[in-house]
Amino acid sequence: MIGIVKTALLLLAATLALTAVAQTSREAESWWSPGDSRVLPAVVEYDNAFGKLRVLNAAGAIRAGEHAFFAPLGENGRACVTCHQPSDAMGLSVETINRRWRETAGTDPLFAAIDGSDCPNLPQQEAASHSLLLERGLFRIPLPWPPRSSEGSVIDPEFTIEVVSDPAGCNTDPVYGLHSENPTISVYRRPRPVANLKYITELSHGVSPHEYFYPNDKSLLPKDPDTGAFVAHRLMSDGREPTLKTQAVSAAIGHLESKRPTDEQLAEIVAFESQIYAAQSFHNVAGPLTVAGTPPVLGPEALRDGAPARLGNNPINRIFGSFAMWAGSTPVEQASTAAGPPLEVQQSVARGADIFYLRRFMIRDVGDYNDKGLGNPFNRSCGSGCHNMQLIGMDLAPGYMDLGLNSLPWANNRPDLPLFKVECHADAKPQSYLGRIIYTHDPGRALITGKCIDVGATLTQQMRGLAARAPYFANGSAANLRELVDFYDRRFNIGYTEIEKQDLVNFLSTL
Name all contacts of 298-302 with Cβ < 8 Å and 24+ positions apart. 298/510, 298/511, 299/54, 300/54, 300/55, 300/56, 300/195, 300/196, 301/56, 301/277, 302/391
Q: In terms of CB distance, is 192 or 414 closer to ligand HEC?
A: 192
Of 31, 46, 139, 145, the one binding ligand HEC by CB under 6 A: 139
Of 118, 158, 166, 238, the one binding ligand HEC by CB under 6 A: 238
Asked if residue 101 binds ligand HEC (CB under 6 A), the reply is: no
Interface region with ligand HEC, contact rule CB under 6 A, candidates 54-62, 237-245, 446-454, 502-510 = 237-245
Of 436, 379, 432, 368, give the one whose Cα is nearest residue 403. Answer: 368
Asked if residue 191 binds ligand HEC (CB under 6 A), the reply is: yes
In the bound complex, what is the minimum distance in angstroms from residue 431's beta carbon to ligand HEC? Answer: 20
Rounded-to-integer distance, Cα 339 and Cα 349, Å? 14
Interface region with ligand HEC, contact rule CB under 6 A, candidates 16-24, 242-250, 290-298, 323-331 = 242-250
Which residues, in sequence order, are CB contacts of 312 under 8 Å at separation 6+? Answer: 318, 319, 320, 383, 388, 389, 390
What length is written for the chain?
511
Of 76, 72, 64, give the one whose Cα is nearest residue 36. Answer: 64
Contact 463, 387 (CB under 8 A): yes
Rounded-to-integer distance, Cα 463 and Cα 59, Å? 23
Contact 397, 459 (CB under 8 A): no
In the bound complex, what is the minimum distance in angstroms from residue 313's beta carbon to ligand HEC? Answer: 23
Distances (CA, A) of 251 to 78, 243, 258, 260, 376: 11, 12, 9, 10, 38
In the bound complex, what is the minimum distance in angstroms from residue 82's beta carbon to ligand HEC? Answer: 5
Rounded-to-integer distance, Cα 50 and Cα 60, Å? 27
Size of the site for ligand HEC (CB under 6 A): 28
Asked if residue 192 binds ligand HEC (CB under 6 A), the reply is: yes
Of 276, 272, 305, 299, give the one whose Cα is nearest residue 287. Answer: 299
Interface region with ligand HEC, contact rule CB under 6 A, candidates 156-164, 229-237, 426-434, 445-453 = 229-237
Rounded-to-integer distance, Cα 261 and Cα 411, Å? 38
Asked if residue 244 binds ligand HEC (CB under 6 A), the reply is: yes
Q: In terms of CB distance, is 17 or 197 closer to ligand HEC?
A: 197
Asked if residue 447 binds ligand HEC (CB under 6 A), the reply is: no
In the bound complex, what is the minimum distance in angstroms from residue 26's beta carbon to ligand HEC? Answer: 24
Of 108, 115, 118, 368, the one binding ligand HEC by CB under 6 A: 115
Asked if residue 88 binds ligand HEC (CB under 6 A), the reply is: no
Q: Residue 188 burial (CB < 10 Å; 0-12/13-18/19+)?
A: buried
Asked if residue 90 binds ligand HEC (CB under 6 A), the reply is: no
Rounded-to-integer distance, Cα 46 and Cα 324, Å? 28
Sign of CA dihedral 279, 284, 289, 294: negative
In the bound complex, what is the minimum distance in angstroms from residue 481's beta carbon to ligand HEC? Answer: 19
Q: In terms of CB distance, is 365 or 442 closer to ligand HEC?
A: 442
Q: Draw the binding track, 256-285, toward ligand HEC (x: CB under 6 A; -: no contact).
A: x------------x---x------------
Of 40, 71, 236, 276, the one binding ligand HEC by CB under 6 A: 236
Interface region with ligand HEC, contact rule CB under 6 A, candidates 123-131, 187-195, 344-352, 379-387 = 187-195
Q: In terms of CB distance, is 119 or 474 closer to ligand HEC?
A: 474
Produce one character per residue of 459-477: b if its CB has 16 or more CB atoms within 10 Å, e if not: bbbbbbbbbbbbbbbbbbb
Rounded-to-integer distance, Cα 328 and Cα 41, Å? 37
Asked if residue 457 binds ligand HEC (CB under 6 A), the reply is: no
Of 17, 252, 289, 339, the one binding ligand HEC by CB under 6 A: 252
Asked if residue 141 binds ligand HEC (CB under 6 A), the reply is: yes
Of 248, 276, 289, 484, the one binding ligand HEC by CB under 6 A: 248
Of 189, 318, 351, 445, the one binding ligand HEC by CB under 6 A: 189
Q: In terms of CB distance, is 273 or 503 closer to ligand HEC?
A: 273
Of 62, 170, 231, 235, the one binding ligand HEC by CB under 6 A: 235
Produce one character per residue of 100-113: b if its CB has 16 or more CB atoms within 10 Å, e if not: bbeeeebebbbbbb
Q: In terms of CB distance, is 240 or 318 closer to ligand HEC?
A: 240
Asked if residue 291 binds ligand HEC (CB under 6 A), the reply is: no
Backbone angles phi, psi at 386, to 5 degrees: -125, -20
Asked if residue 389 binds ligand HEC (CB under 6 A), the reply is: no
Q: In terms of CB distance, is 8 or 66 closer to ligand HEC?
A: 66
Rounded-to-integer distance, Cα 203 and Cα 199, Å? 9
Residues 26-85, interacting with ligand HEC (CB under 6 A): 78, 80, 82-84
Interface region with ligand HEC, contact rule CB under 6 A, candidates 118-126, 185-193, 224-232, 489-497 = 185-193
Q: What is the dihedral of CA 286, 54, 295, 285, to 10 degrees?
A: 0
| Site for ligand HEC, rule CB under 6 A | 78, 80, 82-84, 115-116, 139, 141, 189, 191-192, 194, 200, 235-238, 244, 247-248, 251-252, 255-256, 269, 273, 474
